[in-house]
Structure 1
Amino acid sequence: MSTALQLLPEWVKQEAVILAWPDHDTDWRPWLADVRQVYLTIIEALNAANTGVILLVKATEVEACKTQLGKDAKVLLLVADYNDTWVRDYGFLTCTSSSGMQPLEFTFNGWGDKFDARKDNLANRNHLAPLCQLPLTTVDLVAEGGALEIDAEGHLLSTQFCLTNPKRNGALSLDSYREVFKQYLGASQVSIFEQGHLEGDDTDGHIDTLVRFTPDKGLVVQSAFNRPADQHFAGLAALVAECKAAMPEHKIFQLPLPEIFNPDGDRLPASYANYLICNQHVLCPVYQQPEDQLAVDIMQTAYPDFTIVPINCLPLVQQFGSLHCISMQVPQNTLKPEIVQQLNAGVSQR
């Protein structure tokens, strides 16, 4: 690398968040109206946090989408094609560099070839990279944004179950992953957890459903302390113990675990840890469950200087993901000035 890169933590100032509009050709079809309402609520919350939204939308959906957005919404409709809406895992990451804010992508292969992701894998170079000040850097590695969590000191977290899926990078060793994360993401330390997994999670245990940093040496962990008889209890308790051993100086905030099943009887991987930090706000998923208020209260304790915004994500978890999974933040000074100006001018199209 000719210039040192450093992946930024989520709480840095942001100028936009990327989303992808659900449509009839995605897996959201059975819940489309409800899911779109969740997206509109998120867009409203992001705008209230002084953040514009770059909304990937298919050409056939543009006009209908415009009619659902508020007339004062700060949304740039970016006509694009994609397989699905889990932008966290294919949208570009943003690193600092000596040249400015550097967009960077890994290869996305549908979480180990589980789903067709060929269009998703082209979204950055075909649609998003032209909006950025610096050209896109592509790393020859299969990895997803939801598998990576970092703090301001460059401590990067991930999970062994995800990284060692052979359909991502073959038999690549954890030490080799650490070297890539140090070289391209500026990781000063890498902790890869062995414990913790939610039933129904297609991602093989993404870190953004399990463990998140706070800005002041805190760790928010999806626990199951409230459900000692739950099948997840032992594994998540072991994860908490791993966190304490790896970062004994950090304060641990354990989240309760909801219990949600779909109509087919499948346990859904509902996680309160799948929240989005955005400009001193935390958009926190809730699921219309008895644990919701406790989770929000714990989040407020973990992020005392942030505004906690509960978002009903029960429709999202029907497709085995949640709020953080559908979003990707763009830090300040990443986009071209004219794009930022367009974003702040109301609903527009590009």
Structure 2
Amino acid sequence: MQSPRTLIPEWASVDAVMLAWPHATTDWAPWLEEARQTYLDVIAAVNRYHAGVILLCAPDDVEDVKSRLSANASVLIVPARYNDTWMRDYGFLTCGSPDSDDTVCTPVEFSFNGWGQKFDASEDNQANQRYLAGMCQSPLISSPVVAEGGALEIDAQGRLLSTASCLLNPKRNNGMSLEDYEITFKEMLGCREVIVFQHGHLEGDDTDGHIDTLVRFTPNKGLVIQAADNRPQDSHYDGLSALCEECHTRLPDHQQFRLPLPDMKNDNGERLPASYANFLICNRAVLVPIYGQPEDDEAIEIIKNAYPDHIVEPIDCSVLVRQFGSLHCISMQVPVNTLKHEIINTLKKGVSIYATNHA
């Protein structure tokens, strides 16, 4: 059965973006100050494009965070317990009515188990119910199925994209078939079609091939694809080229905007999953991760062509990719008509602290 509500595309207007501040017991510890500066850059950019920030924050860090923000920053600090900062994968998704812009939107969550039990996510999996659901006008709808926001990409026609390598990891939902997932996504997210790609993966990616590192929709029947045309000798070339061909087969009427592939390694010589497709759309702006690589400028120009009606702003995310993620991974947008009016009003008043019983 298809849900009457539909997952809202990222280019819809948003009131806020959810983030989780890096704290000393997260894996950011070796680069904590550098990571925090990147978060401050993201917060400032989100505010510039007329959205507030809902910021989960370890209780011991609240006063320090306040001191780093300008008093008029649109930030609601939420004292909270969480394992790590990948808000895209445990923050709630938002569904609305495809036939009305005024309908109150519904927060929806799946279970999160650390990308197939790779990492402890017991605190992250409770973040919506502990801290975030109470901010919304509609009750949170929960599914026991394990799925992450970064694994799902949708357009305004209800086409949902994902990858087989992610969905079929047996430690997510052992025994679930792609047909089972299609039924679940139609019931929970109201999508009309589910397209699951068989190709594409970046080395160093803990998520088993999240779609938000590989293929993103544009509002104008376009696909932004993390390709490797610039590196024909690269180990990624065959898989990403097969993904481009698969995109053409499944979505032949969509224009492709193929991004160049950077070659980044950490101090141990491990390839880092640096993807320019891991951008965040925020109210007529596209915040694009860059990595201090020769391919940065070309990637920015391609995304400008893909989103001609948006401002494209680069943000240095070279520290984020050291933890094998990037800009989209750390963020989750909240569309208009989702949050309670008092939350919106609080965001407009500058930096505030949200009272919670679960910190």
Where on the TM-score scale, by shorter chain, does this alignment land: which range? Answer: over 0.9
Quick one: which of 258, 268, 280 aligns to 2:262? Answer: 258
TM-score, normalised on structure 2?
Answer: 0.96
The correspondence of residues 304-323 of structure 1 with structure 2, limited to 5 A, is 304-323=308-327
Aligned letter for 1:66? K
The correspondence of residues 79-228 of structure 1 with structure 2, limited to 5 A, is 79-97=79-97, 100-228=104-232
Contact 2:158 2:190 in 1 (8 A): yes
Quick one: which of 315, 330, 337 aligns to 2:341? Answer: 337
The correspondence of residues 294-305 of structure 1 with structure 2, limited to 5 A, is 294-305=298-309
Aligned letter for 1:54? I
Deviations 1:228-279 (A, max 9, x none): 1100000000000000000000000000000000001110000000000010
Distance 1:136 1:67 in 2: 33
Q: CA deviation at 1:183?
A: 1.2
Contact 1:195 1:238 in 2 (8 A): yes
Contact 1:226 1:256 in 2 (8 A): yes
TM-score, normalised on structure 1?
Answer: 0.99
Aligned letter for 2:15? E
Quick one: which of 253, 257, 264 aligns to 1:249? Answer: 253
In structure 2, the partner of 1:324 is: 328
Query: Is 2:244 the partner of 1:240?
Result: yes
Q: CA deviation at 1:184?
A: 1.1
What SS does the aligned partner of 1:116 have?
Answer: coil
Contact 1:95 1:104 in 2 (8 A): yes
Between 218-227 and 97-106, the greater mean CA deviation after superposition: 97-106
Aligned letter for 2:260? P
Q: CA deviation at 1:100?
A: 2.2
- Cα distance change on mapping 1:311 and 1:2 into 2, 3 Å: closer
Aligned letter for 2:35? V
Distance 1:2 1:309 in 2: 37
In structure 1, the partner of 2:71 is: 71
Deviations 1:136-176 (A, max 9, x none): 00012000000000000000000000000000000210011
In structure 1, the partner of 2:11 is: 11
Distance 2:205 2:240 in 1: 14
Distance 2:104 2:276 in 1: 33
Contact 2:2 2:190 in 1 (8 A): no
Q: CA deviation at 1:11?
A: 0.3
Distance 2:196 2:2 in 1: 27
Distance 1:252 1:43 in 2: 30
Contact 1:5 1:183 in 2 (8 A): no
Contact 1:157 1:191 in 2 (8 A): yes
RMSD: 1.1
Structure 1 segments of 4 or more deviating over 6 A?
none
What SS does the aligned partner of 1:228 have?
Answer: coil
Distance 2:113 2:236 in 1: 28
Query: Is 2:62 the partner of 1:58?
Result: no
Contact 2:3 2:187 in 1 (8 A): no
Query: Is 2:30 the partner of 1:26?
Result: no
Q: CA deviation at 1:181?
A: 0.8
Aligned letter for 1:218? G
Q: CA deviation at 1:130?
A: 0.5
Q: CA deviation at 1:2?
A: 11
Quick one: which of 264, 271, 278 aligns to 2:275? Answer: 271
Q: CA deviation at 1:71?
A: 2.2
Aligned letter for 2:275? S
Aligned letter for 2:234? D
Contact 2:3 2:188 in 1 (8 A): no
Contact 2:47 2:74 in 1 (8 A): yes
Structure 2: runs of 5+ lacking an equivalent? 355-359
Distance 1:90 1:4 in 2: 23
Structure 1: runs of 5+ lacking an equivalent? none
Q: CA deviation at 1:4?
A: 1.6
Between 145-154 and 70-79, the greater mean CA deviation after superposition: 70-79
What SS does the aligned partner of 2:105 have?
Answer: strand
Deviations 1:161-199 (A, max 9, x none): 000000000021001101111111111111100000000
Distance 1:68 1:182 in 2: 43
